[in-house]
Structure 1
Amino acid sequence: MKQYILVVGLILLRVVAVAQTAELSGRVTAGEAGLAYATVALKGTSYGTTSDSLGTFRLRAIPPGTYRLVVSMMGYSSYQKSVTLGASASVEIQAELQELAGSLEEVVVTGTMKEVSKLESAVPVDIVTQKFLYKNTVPSIFEGLSYVNGIRPQINCNVCNTGDIHINGLEGPYTMVLLDGMPIVSGLSTVYGLIGIPNSLIERVEIVKGPASTLYGSEAVGGLINIITKSTTKAPTFSADAFSSNWRDFNADLGFKFMLGSKVSSLTGINYFNYQNPIDRNGDGFTDLTLQHRISVFNKWSVQRPYNRQASLALRYFYEDRWGGQVHWTPADRGGDEVYGESIYTERFEAIGTYQLPMKEKVTLQYSLNTHRQNSFYGDLPFEADQRIAFGQLLWDKQVGKHSLLAGIPLRYTYYNDNTPATTSALDTDEPSRIFLPGLFVQDEITRGPHKVLLGMRYDYNSRHGSIYTPRLAYKVALNTTDALRLNVGRGYRVVNLFTEDHAALTGAREVVIREALRPEQSWNANLNFVKKIVLPNAFVGLDASVFYTRFSNRILPDYDTNPNQIIYDNLRGYAESKGISLNLDVNLYAPLKLVAGVTLMDNVQVDEGQRIRPILTERFMGTWAITYEFRKAGMVLDYTGNVYGPMRLPLLSEDDPRAEYSPVWSLQNIQLTKNLGTRWELYGGVKNLLNFRPPANSIARAFDPFDKKVLFDTEGNVLATPDNPSRLTFDPSYVYAPNQGIRGFLGVRYTLP
């Protein structure tokens, strides 16, 4: 009986306690439209939620008191209001957010490894949101970055269509790719790292242009691309996105989340892409687009621990089967010398995680592990490779007065083995590469009124190359509440993995020549950045201008010119420069019209014995734009996106090569119409490559003789002129600067369940 009375008493106490709590509800809007997935929280408490598809939210069981309500969403100004809640009260709030031009209040982490607003960051960071990626629907981030100023996805092979990302004219190996801040893409996986990540799971992509080796080590010489996935708590319950074009390619993204109890949440995403329709529009006998079949599965777990400490773990599996070549190639021809094809099987596994240690100081363990296997044939040339990378890092974050301190102890282990001379000893035996890379870095960010100074230093010890030092200096001054001037100076370095980074070293008939042991590349970079936001009676205008300069020593560049039958790799005896100016413009009208545009002028040269040479596949200028018009009453959005590139020097095979030495000015333009069908469905479609631009039909040299069976060579390996080959050519697919797909239509559908 006493136990019964006690239970009843506890229940009554619970009822009374609940009756003494309050409820807060409301709607988050931008204009008349509700904003889904906006973050709603009571500052300094654990009470928080996200808005649903209509923008509504509700917080229950809140103790009486006065709170600071904060409503935020990326790309919009934050809303803050003091709210007093009485016992048993129910308060309703209408929170209207204003869309920002330039997104100065967005939170960024890549530049300094700390969460700060974009305006407060001492390092300039560009942000690409999921909303921007949806303006031109593409199956991968690799293609989606085509419309970001200063960024150019480069196709490196006409046959297998692998590629990399150029930042301000610098080749792909100078760009480091991160997933949620962790270095998961490098070396062997560089050309595949930006595909297979479901677009529906991407929160944003942060881009740092310029060296970041002080914080991130090798490969962060030209810049960083950090793909940040959605939080397990903020992501929609379920999302689906599928589209296809008249080329009969098909892409599908699925995402869903679930909770285990109140503290464990999980987010899963699946990307599937399939293209099995050989097309040869230019009549050279080769596929215009590589046939591909891939699947990627991503799973992310988060655990809310005491004192708001976080622990997370993300896993990703990626598999792809791709081939390109003569259109009548079949798997039975793989590795043969009768029908040419480039067939690549890729299998990859990644694990990344963070764990904040249970101690008074803010110390976080970050770790990642990835394995990458490639089984491929380039014609009759086999290439098999195995790479494993283990990474761990302890981060200490401390605020001491005006000093924001950050220190880290990273350790990276890389195992790499393939069947090329890169991992063969002088005795012609297998000798896998094993590199240990321990390091230490410190960073101090000092704030004095509108001035901010960031000082950083990193020391790495490479087990192959020895000690490497990379200092960094950044200065920012806030000119007012919206405008800022930044100066960044830093040193970068990169340890080269030749065969894993330069696909041209494997494709075609050129012989690869390595003149000496390649030393690490080193660079110094300076960047001056100015941002300004202009508030007009009927518009926001954002300006972002940068001047950049990079000087390389020990730079490694492929030499296609000395011998048309060879690719010669060597450290540059002189130096190399990359310099230019970039301007971005955001115009956000109260009327339903938005414009984002940018232009970059650049000059890349290598100087050797006083001779200035422009590297191949580097443009002098580029421009990008995205124009959006919203038909609000009809629930439709029209997006017009495009880019334009200046001439690039192209790799010719001989002085008699009939192909043009420079590419023309070329542009890819697209139009897309999106229709909202209620609050959960979207139907979209449009036309890609409106101008139907395609490279010349003779881009692949001697496509009719891919094994060079009818090419004659002299005793020194030089091609002899013959009636069948008067221009002294060999088979070569490296003459490529743009995709071969012409104009095409596409249609897709999206579904989102909050």
Structure 2
Amino acid sequence: MKKYLPILLGIFLYIHHTTLKASDLTKACKFSGTVVSKGKAIPFANVIVKGTSIGTVTDEAGVFSLCELKKGTYTITVSAVGYKTSEIKVDVDETGRKNIEVELQEDLLQLDEVVVSADRGMLKRTQAPVMVNTIAPALFASTQSVVIGEALNFMPGLRLENDCQNCGFNQVRMNGMEGPYSQILINSRPIFSELAGVYGLELLPANMIDRVEVVRGGGSVLYGSNAIAGTINIILKDANINSYEIGASGSLIGTGMNGSNGPVGDYTVNFNNTLVASNNQTGITIYGFTRDRSMFDANGDGFSELAPMSNLCLGSRFWQRVGVRGKLSVDIFTIREKRDGGNKQDLPLHERDVAEAVKHDMRAGSLIYERYFRQFDLLTVFASSQYLKRDSYYGANQSLNSYGESYDFTYNTGIQYKALVGISTVTMGTELTGSKLSDTKLAYRDLNHPIFDIDPVSGDTLGVTYPHVDNTNVSDQSLLTTGLFIQHDMGIGKWKTSTGVRFEQYRIED
């Protein structure tokens, strides 16, 4: 992560410089308003000019201001957590001066929440052609979930299973189907590889996530054929206000359990920092998370029921508005995790009766450019990738041949255009998804097949040697998928239809 620090520092200095330059511009913003509900101001509500990249957030008094609005008619979209989204049309004259008041209605069940997983675009849940369930930050907080996997148990139709007490492997079952049948997305992009998905639900901390959207059901035209059981779309946090947050939590596992080694600790520390320029042209989010969990033995047999774990995550999300109708977003994050299950924790891995241990080094990034055309047509160009190195040991009975090393590189790039045609919406595009996986069994001394040096005359054993086995290539596979898709959505009153087709071509080299 050290090589990213100069980049992040440069971005901070750029935003600070932009903030200073924008002070005069902010004073010249003549379009303003207040967001209220039942006479009370709503702070930190999102205010967006539909069909443009212009947007802002209300302050503590519920007041907002918008710049760069020229003469014309605009649709203003206002949303806030716990309230129904409101859209109003406003006319702006040559002076650009206008003051409005927006009244929001409470939405305790959050049925009017805006989601993106339905059609890869901003859409109210009630208007989506498919059912989209969401996990909001409030649920992470109320359930004390420090990673994404812990909160999935509270979603209908989902169940998180811990399928290995030694290594801590877990998977999410959707509609009763096993983990490989579900597709995990990050910001709607399939860069979360199969190798990362083995332990991935405990790799991603909750403080880097804005929300999780879950679509249950068969594969989607927009997301590909991997989503047989459904999709889990992880939306990362976006900077919209100047804020900072630091938190720590701790829990004791096994309290009051007779025969266990409890209570043992599980401690986390996290921070979030967001900075937005005064003219709302630039923003950045920086987040960090660390976790330390001790081994838990539930029955005193010396073997772990919960493997000891340490996790470190650092990341950033940066966005820059390009003109009035364009936006560029950049994401980078790195995760390092180590878990070490089995027994005899004080001995080396190959000296234990059973040991299952892994070390992950993950780096991921994405680049997204969005541009509005006509009134509400949206062009999206995207590229994202993920690199993962995993060192592992899965062995028993003091085995020396159980060390492994894996490398995985996944990338996804493409272009998408979403057009409004009358009462219909047409989404079309093409994308290229590829991966490169290398799995190696590391060299070892073969103690099970000794070679004896026998004296041909006396028959005495003169010595013994143990053969050396070199690195063994278990897998060296490349996968390339090219997809072409088009989807048509239409709504007439309360009736909604969604039809689409997707063509995919696979090429596998092993």
Bin for the TM-score computed over the shorter chain:
0.7 to 0.9
CA distance in 2: counterparts of 1:391 and 1:50, whole angstroms? 32
Verify: 1:391 aligned to 2:412, yes or no. Answer: yes
- Give TM-score, length-normalised by structure 2: 0.76
Verify: 1:170 aligned to 2:153, yes or no. Answer: no
CA distance in 2: counterparts of 1:151 and 1:297, whole angstroms? 28
State the partner residue of 2:499.
Answer: 455
Which whole-Å deviations, capped at 9, do the CAs of 1:280-300 have from their partners, x for residues lacking one?
A: 231121123211111111211
1:429 deviates by: 6.1
Alignment of 1:348-497 (within 5 A): 348-356=362-370, 362-379=378-395, 380=399, 381-419=402-440, 432-464=476-508
1:48 deviates by: 4.4
1:431 deviates by: 5.3
Secondary structure at the aligned position of 1:194 is classed as helix
The alpha-carbon distance between structure 1 residues 82 and 451, as it changes in their structure 2 partners (threshold 3 A), is closer
CA distance in 1: counterparts of 2:348 and 2:419, whole angstroms? 60
Secondary structure at the aligned position of 1:123 is classed as coil
1:306 deviates by: 1.9
Aligned-residue identity in percent: 24
State the partner residue of 1:40.
Answer: 47
CA distance in 2: counterparts of 1:76 and 1:64, whole angstroms? 30
Corresponding letter in the other structure for 2:140: L
CA distance in 2: counterparts of 1:85 and 1:431, whole angstroms? 62
1:191 deviates by: 2.1
1:403 deviates by: 3.2
1:322 to 334, 339, 348: 339
Corresponding letter in the other structure for 1:395: Q
State the partner residue of 2:16.
Answer: none
State the partner residue of 1:333.
Answer: 348
**How large is the Cα RMSD of the aligned pairs?**
3.4
The alpha-carbon distance between structure 1 residues 128 and 393, as it changes in their structure 2 partners (threshold 3 A), is same
1:99 deviates by: 2.4
State the partner residue of 1:151.
Answer: 158
1:208 to 211, 215, 231: 215
CA distance in 2: counterparts of 1:429 and 1:296, whole angstroms? 30
Where do 5+ consecutive residues of structure 1 fail to align? 1-16, 421-427, 466-496, 498-754
1:63 deviates by: 8.4
State the partner residue of 1:128.
Answer: 135
Where do 5+ consecutive residues of structure 2 fail to align? 1-24, 253-263, 442-471
Verify: 1:59 aligned to 2:65, yes or no. Answer: yes
In the alignment, is the contact (CA less than 8 A) between 1:200 and 1:239 conserved in 2? no
State the partner residue of 1:572.
Answer: none
Secondary structure at the aligned position of 1:111 is classed as coil
Aligned residues, how many?
436
1:95 deviates by: 4.0
CA distance in 1: counterparts of 2:491 and 2:104, whole angstroms? 32
Corresponding letter in the other structure for 2:368: T
CA distance in 1: counterparts of 2:379 and 2:315, whole angstroms? 27
CA distance in 2: counterparts of 1:366 and 1:84, whole angstroms? 34
Secondary structure at the aligned position of 1:214 is classed as coil
The alpha-carbon distance between structure 1 residues 60 and 444, as it changes in their structure 2 partners (threshold 3 A), is closer
State the partner residue of 2:457.
Answer: none
In the alignment, is the contact (CA less than 8 A) between 1:20 and 1:88 conserved in 2? no
State the partner residue of 1:243.
Answer: 249
CA distance in 1: counterparts of 2:27 and 2:276, whole angstroms? 27
CA distance in 2: counterparts of 1:305 and 1:198, whole angstroms? 31
CA distance in 2: counterparts of 1:180 and 1:324, whole angstroms? 32
Corresponding letter in the other structure for 1:452: K
1:392 deviates by: 1.0
CA distance in 1: counterparts of 2:271 and 2:354, whole angstroms? 36
1:447 deviates by: 3.4
Which whole-Å deviations, capped at 9, do the CAs of 1:91-116 have from their partners, x for residues lacking one?
A: 68484541232x23212221222222
Alignment of 1:475-554 (within 5 A): none
Corresponding letter in the other structure for 1:446: M
- Give TM-score, length-normalised by structure 1: 0.53
The alpha-carbon distance between structure 1 residues 235 and 188, as it changes in their structure 2 partners (threshold 3 A), is farther
1:18 deviates by: 10
The alpha-carbon distance between structure 1 residues 140 and 236, as it changes in their structure 2 partners (threshold 3 A), is farther
In the alignment, is the contact (CA less than 8 A) between 2:174 and 2:182 conserved in 1? yes
In the alignment, is the contact (CA less than 8 A) between 1:28 and 1:97 conserved in 2? no
Secondary structure at the aligned position of 1:146 is classed as helix
2:314 to 275, 297, 315: 297
In the alignment, is the contact (CA less than 8 A) between 1:290 and 1:323 conserved in 2? yes
In the alignment, is the contact (CA less than 8 A) between 2:84 and 2:104 conserved in 1? no
